[in-house]
Amino acid sequence: MSMWNVEICDVTLRDGEQTPGVSFTCEEKMEIAGLLDGIGLEVIEGGFPAVSSSEQEAVRAICRMGLEARICALSRAKKEDIDAALDCGVDMVSVFLPTSDLHIRHKYGRPRDEVLMEAMAMVEYAHDHGVEVRFGAEDASRTDPFFLLRAYREAVSHGADLVTFTDTVGCLMPVEIRAAVEEIIPSVSVPLCIHCHDDMGCATANTITAAASGAFQLHTTVNGIGERAGNAALEEVLVLLAMKGGISRYDLSLLHKLSETVAKAAGMPVARNKAIVGAHAFSHESGIHIAAILKDPETYEYVKPALVGCERTFILGKHTGRHAVRHVAASLGYDLAEDEITWVLAEVKRRSEAKCAVTSELLHEILCAAREGGRQ
């Protein structure tokens, strides 16, 4: 298995917080940053200091935590934004500029060359203050390719250490991301970062495709939260890096705890069928599946639950078989005879087909009735 040359920059505390209705307290940001650092991520984007004094204080607090990860702050190509980031003590300033004609026309109303060179002065300003500088091209996916490459080269000549390709509106699919990355990498002398949004459901796939195509820094958010449909999900990207990219340096066992922490702080429950961290990600109901899993979990589990801090669960319902009933009953301390298993199975199917959830409490009632001979 080949090993991709990548690092992770998690942007949960900045882009993730731009999810409508989401706002993290300073304490919540610090807790999340600590977990991200515990996993072993290389870069944590702590926030957008120019937004407010409280945002600046939160970024400053994260910088003072003594984490192993480099701490980054977002900044527009404005001196006051960069000063606010520098004042926090960050390791990296991410200076972004809209580069598509669409954005430049509506945000600036001036020639793009003029806008670009003003921004380059700010890239140089940040570089002159001794921090790592990342230049981000906002709406890169809809930018004139020739102008995009020019912007990257100008950024490098003005001191940028990294450049970012941002699929701001999530309009690309993997084959397009591959083509863009393969064109940019030979043309720019610094590492390329990839920042994908999920408007068409391709953010994780696009991010991993970019990594396989040579992109270096991958941007993610926990649970895939973020503007509109969100960003590439950290937990999905990390598992894919481990399973497909030969990268084993991250502690994936913290992913479930991290997911729950962010979901609680954001007030956004994770979808039950969410990959890796959803409640049903390692749950099984089908009798055929459970019978096979009891013999060998690999039959229906490509990712091991323990790898990401989760546990396998069996859910009894209309698709359940005898093997599952026997296993679940035994795990709960019920040693049932064959006729009792037959009755429990029929009762579970009857309840579930009536759209009644077979909760743990109801299951105990059914099992007790079977064991005590109270079957109707």
According to the model, what pLDDT value does residue 119 have?
98
Orientation of helix 79-88 relative to helix 53-63, angle to 10°: 40
- 311-350 pLDDT, tens digit each: 888 777 777 778 778 877 787 788 888 888 888 888 878 8
Q: Tally Cβ neighbours within 10 Å of residue 189.
A: 11
Of 8-12, 222-226, 242-246, 358-362, the range with the lowest mean pLDDT is 358-362
Which range has the worst mean pLDDT, 193-202, 274-283, 357-366? 357-366
Mean pLDDT confidence for 350-375: 72
Confidence of residue 214 (pLDDT cuts 50, 70, 90): very high
Domain boundaries, the chain: 7-266, 283-371
- Averaged pLDDT for residues 20-39: 97
% of the chain surpassing 70 pLDDT: 97
Same fold, 7-266 and 283-371: no
Mention the CATH class of domain 7-266: alpha beta
Residues 6+ apart with CB under 8 A from 262: 12, 16, 32, 222, 223, 225
Alpha-carbon dihedral sign for residues 150, 156, 162, 168: negative
pLDDT at res. 308:
94
CA-based radius of gyration for the chain: 25
Q: Is the pLDDT of residue 52 over 80?
A: yes
- How distant is the alpha carbon of residue 240 from its chain centre? 11
Name beta bridge partners: 73.
47, 93
Instruction: Give φ, ψ of 225 to 5 degrees.
Output: -70, 165
Buried b (16+ CB within 10 A) or exposed e, 97-125: bbbbeebbeeeeeeebeebbeebbebbbb
Q: Give the pTM.
A: 0.90
In contact, 346 and 317? CB cutoff 8 Å:
no
Tell me: domain 283-371, CATH 1.10.10, correct? no
**pLDDT band at residue 376, thresholds of 50, 70 and 90?**
very low
pLDDT value at 164 more than 90:
yes
- On the 0-12 / 13-18 / 19+ scale of CB atoms within 10 A, 350 is exposed
**Confidence band of 145 (pLDDT split at 50, 70, 90):** very high
Please identify which residue in the block is written with the tokens 């019978």.
291
- pLDDT tens profile 77-129: 999 999 999 999 999 999 999 999 999 999 999 999 999 999 999 999 999 99
**How many Å separate Cα 162 from the centre of its chain?**
21
Q: Picking from 152-156, 235-239, 315-319, which range would have the lowest pLDDT averaged per residue?
A: 315-319
SS (H, E, C) 115-173: HHHHHHHHHHHHHCCCCEEEEEEECHHHCCHHHHHHHHHHHHHCCCCEEEEEECCCCCC
CA 338 from centre of chain: 46
